Amino acid sequence: MKISPLDRILLLLMSLLSAWQVAIGINDFDTLPIIAYTIGFGTLIIAGLLIIILGWEFLESPFVVVISSLIPASLSLGLAWEYLPDIRIFYLSFVSIGFLAILATRLTGTTRNFPLIIVTIAHGVEGLLISLLPIWLVTKGLVSVSFLLVGFGGALSGLSGLLLTFMKFNKPILERSLTLHILPGLLLVSTAALVAGFSF
Amino acid sequence: MSSRCPVTHWYDFLGLGISLFLAIAGSTILNMWYDRDIDAVMDRTHHRPLASGLVTPLEAFRLGLVLAILGVGLAFIMMPIYGLIVFSGLFFDVVVYTIWLKRRTCWSIVWGGISGGMPILAGRVYGVGSVDAVGVLLTLAVLFWIPTHILTFSMRYVDDYKAARIPTFPSTYGFGATRITIAVSSLLAAVSIGSAGLLIGMEWGFLRLLGVLTAGLVLMAIASIFRPSERVNFGLFKYASLYMLSAMILLSL
């Protein structure tokens, strides 16, 4: 399926928003969240640019699963480090092991359901943390209501990740053409929500 | 712009723009004038005005010479050392690269790269008044970026260059060695730009963004070595162009 000009524009806007976030939007955080958010939004920038340049064929690469797993892992790590100080080390370990496990299954070419189980557990926990932590923080009055946008953006981003991952494992949730059709818009809206949530 | 100096007068920017535009346009026309015979046998370039006969060689030569003299002359009037560097760029490009080396050795692109780095060095020198470490690093950044740009291009059009009997890296050393050269060169370009950014006093946020864009460049270069294909190869060419544009914008913010 050929990438359309509209898809390219949406992906470019997503990359520009992510670039703004990396360059300006995360300056006030601690060191580890800055690194984590740089990796998360940086992955969005590179992925957006490479899809624009290489087309949807970029998604054929076996390492797309690894690269896309960086986004929820790093964003959730940044949030956990900032707002859940008691589980910092535990969560850092979980994210690291999860990422290494996904990388290992890709490098070794492990088949059957094992890689999918690994990805589902890692994405599931990370996605839940990104989506639910902002709601909990808002109800506790620890952050402003606009922070809910981070949860919303995280949920949409997680949805994009799941659509892509299941497509890669040949168990598509939606038809491939429909997934690719909605993906640029989904990524742009999720990135805009994340950037807005962190900004206000 | 990279000098971050308080030179914000409109006539400085206008002078820089006009002198570089004239000199580079003159240099490009003179290159095309000299290379019209090889342009005519290459698919990619046979439609150019000189190669296709729309413009006579004498017309092109006169126009190129006039533009080059005007550009270099204006540069000398603005600041002698600035003019000297603009002239060096033109000399390296037309005489050393095109006339002397291009048809003899694939290593001619080194001189093409040096001449490509002269405009940014010239602008830096105009801003700070002398050749400094930042200027040299920026020149090196362009020099090391040129292989990423040109070698991916010469792999795509390898048959064209063979037909014109122009020695290139792919035809001399093979595609594998060329891809490794591109990857190493990309890394060196990124190191040069990053170092220049640090010395200029680029803000951390912009350096972070530059780091992210560099990671993409390295990723593409590695992919072109281990998973070579026409698409990845030309993707690297496009990404390298986008990378240099983005890096220059970030350096000037």
CA B216 to chain centroid, in Å, comes to 20
Tell me whether residues A49 and B239 touch, CB distance under 8 A: yes
CA B143, B149, B153 angle in degrees (round to 5)? 140
Full-model pTM: 0.85
Query: For A63, which residue in chain B has the nearest alpha carbon?
Result: B223
CA dist., res. B95 & res. A184, Å (int): 48
Tell me whether residues B235 and A53 touch, CB distance under 8 A: yes
Residue A24 near chain B (CB below 8 Å): yes
Interval A140-156: pLDDT, tens: 999 999 999 999 998 89
d(CA B239, nearest CA chain A) in Å: 7
Interval A67-80: pLDDT, tens: 888 899 999 999 99
- Determine the pLDDT at residue B68: 97
A29 or A114, greater pLDDT: A29
CA pseudo-torsion sign B121, B126, B127, B132: positive
**CA distances from residue A48 to A37, A172, B163, B225 in whole angstroms, order as listed:** 16, 21, 37, 22
Residue B231 near chain A (CB below 8 Å): yes
- Determine the pLDDT at residue B253: 80
For residue B222, which of B183, B177, B174 has the smallest C-alpha distance?
B183
Confidence band (pLDDT; 50, 70, 90) for A105?
A: confident
Residue B216 near chain A (CB below 8 Å): yes
Q: Mean of the pLDDT values across residues A118-142? A: 90
Tell me whether residues B212 and A22 touch, CB distance under 8 A: yes
- Determine the pLDDT at residue B106: 92
Tell me whether residues A54 and B232 touch, CB distance under 8 A: yes
Q: How many CB atoms lie within 10 A of CB B207?
A: 15
Backbone phi, then psi, for A141, in 5-degree steps?
A: 75, 20
Residue B249 near chain A (CB below 8 Å): no
Tell me whether residues A42 and B212 touch, CB distance under 8 A: yes
Tell me whether residues B205 and A57 touch, CB distance under 8 A: no
Residue B16 near chain A (CB below 8 Å): no
- Determine the pLDDT at residue A111: 64
Interval A57-103: pLDDT, tens: 888 777 787 888 889 999 999 999 999 999 999 999 999 999 898 88
d(CA B218, nearest CA chain A) in Å: 11
A133 or A25, greater pLDDT: A133
Taking contacts as CB-CB distances below 8 angstroms, the residues of chain A near B206 are 23
Per-residue pLDDT of chain B (253 residues; tens, 9 = 90+): 555 555 668 888 899 999 999 999 999 999 999 999 999 989 888 899 998 999 999 999 999 999 999 999 999 999 999 999 999 999 999 999 999 999 999 999 999 999 999 999 999 999 888 999 999 999 999 999 988 888 888 888 888 898 889 999 999 999 989 988 988 898 899 999 999 999 988 889 999 999 999 999 988 888 888 888 888 888 888 898 899 999 989 988 8
Interval A148-199: pLDDT, tens: 999 999 889 888 888 887 787 777 888 888 888 999 999 999 999 999 999 8
Query: For B227, which residue in chain A has the nearest alpha carbon?
Result: A61
On the question of pLDDT at A47 being above 60, the answer is yes
- Determine the pLDDT at residue A158: 82
Using H for helix, E for strand and C for coil, what is the string for A116-140?
HHHHHHHHHHHHHHHHHHHHHHHHC
